[in-house]
Amino acid sequence: MKIVCLSDFHGKKEYLKKFVKGITLEKPDLIFFAGDVVRGLARGEELLESKYRGWVPNREKEEIQLEEKEDMDSYRAFYNAFGETQIKMMMVPGNMDAPWTRFFQAFEAEAGPKGNITLVHGAWTSVGNYLIGGFGGEITESQKEDFFVLQFPQKEVREKLKRVRQNPGGKLMLFHTPPYGYLDIDSGRHKGIDAVTTLIEEHRPALAVFGHSHKAKGKAFIGESLLVNPGAMKDGNWAVVELEKKGVKFYNVL
């Protein structure tokens, strides 16, 4: 099975035609997208500033209100481009794909009608002999946030992914948060918050794809599980996995 791995698009609509052209030429069986369709710059900056200043973040800030149109334009362009390929895509949201209501409404309205894009956030789905599951956003120790960014406590993640049957071909998994210490240049942020590694060790997927760490593209292993971070689409990066051979090739459209 050939799988194209993508992550961290961050609204770079001008790159979409190049990505679609390259991916179509590869003729993959599946596309995995590990989150962050939008930039979410104003929301992210307000959350960080409020933590630094010790105040309550302001949802009504003008820049945040104006960001909704940019978000919806990014969602629409992204889903239209990948919907037209008719290649099956599995995806989870990134931490910047907030608010949750906007992300989910955009998915239902723009991705749902395409028929080839599946959201595997906190769920499992079957494709051929494989069972594919995942969880998006930033996985935290106990924090939960769904407006400025998407954050989910590890207890919730483990609970939603634990009930799963076995499939003959095994499992494939998709996260936004990297497993601590693996292809994560910012791994200090996740120290002690390692639900992803634990989940990989428990489920033993043939492949686990994640993003978030924009500059840390590469491959690694946890046991027999192949880990892939394709790098950020916003920088032109993507990867192709030959699953049975556990081979990975990295590309750049720029």
User: 164 near 133, Cβ under 8 Å?
Assistant: yes
Q: What is the pLDDT of residue 165?
A: 63
Q: What is the pLDDT of residue 194?
A: 80
Neighbours of 219 (CB within 10 A): 19
CA distances from 149 to 6, 45, 137, 188 (A): 20, 10, 8, 19
Structure tokens at 228: 């892939």
Model confidence pLDDT, tens digit, residues 173-190: 999 998 877 666 454 444
CATH hierarchy code of domain 2-252? 3.60.21.10
Residues of the chain with pLDDT under 50: 185, 187-193
Structure tokens at 173: 């998994």
Q: What global pTM score does this model have?
A: 0.94
